[in-house]
Structure 1
Amino acid sequence: MKYNIDPELRPILDLLPPFDLADPATMRATMDAMVGPANAALDTRGTTISDHVAPGLAGAPEVPVRVYRPESATAALPGLLYLHGGGFVFGNLESEHATCLAISRQLGIVVVSVDYRLSPETAFPGPLDDCYAALLWTQANAATLGIDLRRLGVMGQSAGGCLAAACALRARDENGPALCYQFLSIPVLDDRLDTPSMQAFTDTPIWHLANAEQSWDYYLGSALQRGSTEVPALAAPARAASLQGLPPACVTVMEFDPLRDEALIYAQRLLAAGVSTEIHCYPGTFHGSSMVVDAALSKRGVADMLAALGRGLCVESRQ
């Protein structure tokens, strides 16, 4: 392999199923088959887990959400709207179940996971509308959910990072919920696909230029052409004219990920706009390499995530 992948991450390369977005149904079935057994073995004791539906925007379908809350909590807690990854094509409440459970348990916060509609069946703005509807529902039901609205943040991974960044932009521009923090993990941000990392990484594991092209074409649908001037900032946050007034952020990237440079550029723009921003780049990693949970780099990434979320959401020390 021409990429200097960390030795602890290399063994999984031979075990990974093909990530071919050309066949969404097969891709979803493959992911569901991987997640099911792992979820069945999870210990959920100590956490109250409940499923709800949020009203869709402007007559759109209801949005399924799953809420995680520590059972022992009595006071209002920080809240985190969590948006899954999957190239806009796959992912659901089950694929994020373990992650959301761990975040809620480790930080002692309320996590609201969103099952937004997927592409290509639903193109922009449908998935974003679902996420924003879930954010509005979280705000409206904060008292019932036990969330302190002064400490409400948003987090997304990969395509979910795009949706999280767009929710922060939308909340700012539409006088929406006052988010205190945004965590953008290996985010998708720019449909123009013209950064050095995107152009260079055409054969990297899991995510590469061809998958990025297919993903954006699905998400933008027939109404918008990838790379054209008509693509709005709420679809591709890298296009936002101004990042001023956004909540503090943490942006993470992997070294051998085509998304690396667009995320770093966005983080630099946040800093230039006066937004307090933390940046992490993990050497020897690739998009999705964190699934090798026992690798030292993966453990470091989880520790960094929890620490950053704790700071961003003003979580009281649990020591």
Structure 2
Amino acid sequence: MVLKTDPRTDPRLAAALAAFDMDVAPPPPPVGPDSPLQDRLDFLAEVEMALDGFHDAIFSDLPPVENVERSTHTIKGVDGNDVHLYIHQPKQATGLLPCVYHIHGGGMVVLEATGSNCERWRNELAALGLVVIGVEFRNGAGKLGNHPFPSGLHDCQSGLEWTFQNKAELGISKIIVHGESGGANLGLALSLKSKQEGKLEQIDGVYAMCPYVSGAYKNRNPSLTSLFENEEYFFSTSMLAILASVYDPEGSNQDNPFCWPLKAELETLQGLPPHVVSVNELDPLRDEGMEYYRKLLSAGVSAYSRMVMGTCHCADQDFRKAMPEVFAATIRDIQGFAYSL
């Protein structure tokens, strides 16, 4: 079974993927998680270029988002490096607004906050009456590499602390940490790290989309059935294993919840702020997102979950042109969550 033949696939998504020959199984990667590190880094640099081109294509020819002001601020991170923050605000806003602190996807290893998909996402959220701040963090590979765990997490924490310290100047009422895929990993880990360091007052809520959180890709966990059921839908678990191997090259953090949040014990989750976990029906990562959600509930955390039917990984963010209603439903859910807190 492939996406184009799976009867669950939204036909609009299938048509959009077919234009890029992505409605069928991807070719096997030329490297694996045990290949020499430099070979993996070289391969992921090529993957990043291909993904940039894909995002540029699917977000081309869209009308501009009106009434949004954009600015950039650079801070020094906890490791002494520059961290760029991309700030999007509604024009002529009055009163305090919720802030969505956005952490982009890419398996913690590739892509940038300046990508066309991220720019559009922040603009669309800001147009709904939100202050949106996108953090540019160091990656495990690609143009912003090569910086394995915990470099990116440190940058995300630095940006969050600056945002919290400047709430009044920015006109912010509360802060919602939000990310997709690898960005959801970092967002969930950020909430765990903030709890450990006594800084949970900086986070009012967490909205995680299609979280990449188990680390169980080289040796797949049989209980996470979507890793098998949706294998090679949009990407393969082999690709997920390569990304994981570059994020944690020595494999010394396999049980560290700051690296792989699904490893968190219930005691670690207790007392966290409200969460939303959104998953895609046809995503290999679907079940680890659902498992994290269930652990949150067991720990007594206020949480809800949603599943975006008929879609592959992150499709409700990526396919704005092909499925505008699906895209709109997700950004409105983020808006609703932010205003509900």
Task: Please classify the TM superposition score into its range, dividing by the shorter chain length.
Answer: 0.7 to 0.9
Distance 1:36 1:262, change over 3 A: closer
Q: Is 1:265 the counterpart of 2:291 in the alignment?
A: yes
Q: Is 1:135 the counterpart of 2:160 in the alignment?
A: yes
Q: Any gaps of 5 or more consecutive residues in structure 2?
A: 32-39
Pick one of 224, 230, 241 that aligns with 1:213.
241
Distance 1:40 1:302, change over 3 A: closer
> Which has the larger displacement, 11-20 or 192-201?
11-20
Return structure 1 stretches of 4+ with deviation > 6 angstroms.
none
- Identical aligned residues as a percent: 27
Q: Any gaps of 5 or more consecutive residues in structure 1?
A: none
- The answer for the alignment partner of 2:36 in structure 1 is none
Q: Is 1:102 the counterpart of 2:124 in the alignment?
A: yes
Per the alignment, in what secondary structure is the counterpart of residue 154 of structure 1? strand
Q: Deviations over 1:47-100 (max 9, x none)?
A: 1100111221143x1111100111211322111110000122322122200000
Deviation at 1:281, TM superposition (A): 1.4
CA distance in 2, matches of 1:282, 1:163: 21
Distance 1:40 1:128, change over 3 A: farther
Q: Deviations over 1:14-70 (max 9, x none)?
A: 3336696952222222333344574796525421100111221143x1111100111
User: How many residues align structurally?
Assistant: 305
Q: How does 1:238-317 map to 2 (within 5 A)?
A: 238-242=262-266, 243-290=269-316, 291-295=318-322, 299-300=325-326, 302-314=328-340
Q: How does 1:48-59 map to 2 (within 5 A)?
A: 48-59=69-80
Q: Is 1:80 the counterpart of 2:100 in the alignment?
A: yes
CA contact (8 A) 2:320 2:327 kept: no
- The answer for the alignment partner of 2:176 in structure 1 is 153
CA distance in 2, matches of 1:11, 1:40: 18
CA contact (8 A) 1:39 1:98 kept: no
Deviation at 1:309, TM superposition (A): 3.3
Distance 1:163 1:278, change over 3 A: same
RMSD: 2.4
Counterpart code for 1:259: L
Q: Deviations over 1:248-271 (max 9, x none)?
A: 111111122111111001101111
CA distance in 1, matches of 2:66, 2:335: 22
CA contact (8 A) 1:35 1:94 kept: no
CA distance in 2, matches of 1:294, 1:58: 39
CA contact (8 A) 1:255 1:285 kept: yes
Deviation at 1:176, TM superposition (A): 1.4
CA distance in 2, matches of 1:300, 1:12: 14
Pick one of 8, 13, 18 that aligns with 1:14.
18
CA distance in 2, matches of 1:307, 1:11: 26
CA contact (8 A) 2:101 2:132 kept: yes
Deviation at 1:225, TM superposition (A): 4.6
Q: Is 1:180 the counterpart of 2:204 in the alignment?
A: yes
Give TM-score, length-normalised by structure 2: 0.82
